[in-house]
Amino acid sequence: MQSDRIVPQPPVSRPGDEESDSVWGFRDTAFEIIDGSVVKLSGDRYELAGQDLPDLLGWVRDAIHPDVRADNLNPSRYPPPIPKARLQKAFIEEIGSFLNDGQISDDPHLRLRRGHGQTQEEMYRLKYDRLARIPDLVVFPARDEDVEALVGAARNHDVCLIPYGGGTNVSNALSCREREDRMIVSVDMSRMNRILWIDPQNHMACIQAGAVGRNIAEQLAEHGFTMGHEPDSIEFSTLGGWIATHASGMKKNRYGNIEDLVLDVTVVTARGTLARPTVSPRESVGIGDARRWIFGSEGGLGIVTQAVVRIFPLPEAQEYGSIIFPSLENGVAFLYELTRTAKPPASVRLVDNMQFQLSQTLKPRSVGLKKLKSAFEKWFVVKVKGFDPQAMTACTLVFEGSRAQVAAEQDSVYRIAKRHNGMKGGAENGRRGYQLTYGIAYLRDWILKHYLLAESFETSAAWSDALAVCNNVKQRLREEHSKRKLPGKPFISCRVTQVYPTGVCIYFYFAYYFKGVDNPSEVFSEMEHAARDEVLKSGGSLSHHHGIGKIRQDFLPRVFSPGMMDWQLQIKKAADPSNVFGAGNQGFEET
């Protein structure tokens, strides 16, 4: 049976989609304070944009520090001093034989952007300090052959290569080691951004590694398909990055994690290209399956150039939903029963009380009937149902599938929720919860201007440990904040973002007010390190999907046996004996 493949056109850049060099996201989008007390999100690409948020600033003052004001600013000093490029003439001459001038740049600002990800440490240094080492050159390959020749040239001239996708990582994976004496070249994959083909009969697509998530989703949808992989960073992260970090998405219940979606991968290594001519539904081919080595490799073994992935027909129906619970304990008990007695919807996310309160402040100003409706709903939940505003939590839901599947899932979900004192919160609140995912990502850069440092980190834990991980990490952070006598109150929150038969993924959010604090970013990193220590002590994993990079590599001996640590180093030595891919993530620099 012959399969007719579809070859989509290359994605087209749209006016206004330019990304910021100094903060998260699009250049036209940022939070700002209007008239001293009302917060707005600029631009028009998000539902939240342009709306008055009259409660946000007051809540931040009450929850963290009263001096968070429009006139209490910590202005950014971006750009920082940019280190001089260390250029190797012989290498540049060789790559000039197969790359054109537009594919090679030592522009300082291009180098700077490719020298960091999105950790609080990197963003603080970018605005108020300096990055001691950044790439010396940026190259833009356009074909697999370009990447192969580039790796060969790096091997010939002892040059260090660091792959670059969307720059969204939060593990310091892109930061350059200060002691790296070799020339560092950032391999920007943005020109390898196409869906090469779609196979509608066999439900597969071949996609280049530099393709950005939002473009993948839009182009597949034009032909009636979805990959279903939707991390919170989908607007900017790339397929290659998802593979390299072993990523997960918010709809993994229906579509799977990245390892469930990738059928084959092409990788250029220092010892040659790993590729195969065909893709089968499943194979037993020994240890030569490149996928097993490349998932989570974080640029340390080679450069992913393309992958064949599973795709799915667009769902017939999509519905949002939400549930309010009296406590986090009620919500977790609901999630546990959901995984035991029903099929979880495409996405289910439970936020704790602190995050629930924050979400309420991100609602636009209500007027007229909407204001009356909002007041009635609050009265009903608190006075009639008896929910404590300082304890209640919320769960947001996305149902996808056939109309019959969606209806069946909704029936079972709400029936189970009722057994755990859950109350329907409505489809509108569920939809808003998911739309806010993208707007909230801009909050951290806004509050940094007002002396607030913030970061998220994640873990996974068995059901039996989940609540202990949540409670113990929060308590540890409160203690760390208190013993340093830091100003104000710490913001500490968590949410459950993915569920499995054996446990959950838990996201933590932490922020503190740092005006008057010496070395505030280092202090934050110390507390974050303590929080990860507590995660491991309480039974959590080192990471669920953010990866290791450099920020977590010191913890590896606590989760890997000595034999596993040596195994990892031996793999690196065998695959990349001269350390061409020298970002130094996961301790690979020990080679």
Q: CA-CA distance, 488 to 7, in Å (whole number)?
A: 56
CA distances in angstroms from 476 to 150, 252, 262, listed in the order given: 47, 30, 38
CB 119 within 8 A of CB 172: yes
How far does CA 50 lie from the centroid of its chain?
Answer: 25
Residue that the structure tokens 């000039």 belong to: 96
* Burial of residue 160 (number of CB atoms within 10 Å: 0-12, 13-18, 19+): buried
- SS3 for 138? strand
CA-atom Rg of the chain in angstroms: 24
Establish whether the linkage from the previous residue to 79 is cis, with ω within 30° of 0: yes
Residue that the structure tokens 């304890």 belong to: 391
User: What phi, psi does 541 have (nearest 5°)?
Assistant: -85, 165
Give me the amino acid identity at 498. Answer: Q
- SS3 for 29? coil
- Catalytic residue numbers read 507
* Closest by Cα among 284, 241, 291 to 266: 291
CB atoms within 10 A of CB 273: 17
CB 30 within 8 A of CB 41: yes
Structure tokens at 566: 């040596």
Angle at 243 between CA 242 and CA 246, to 5 degrees: 80
* Closest by Cα among 68, 55, 110 to 449: 68
Q: Any idea what DSSP says for residue 383?
A: I
Please report the sign of the dihedral spanned by the C-alpha atoms of residue 327, residue 332, residue 335, residue 340: negative
Q: CA-CA distance, 334 to 417, in Å (whole number)?
A: 6
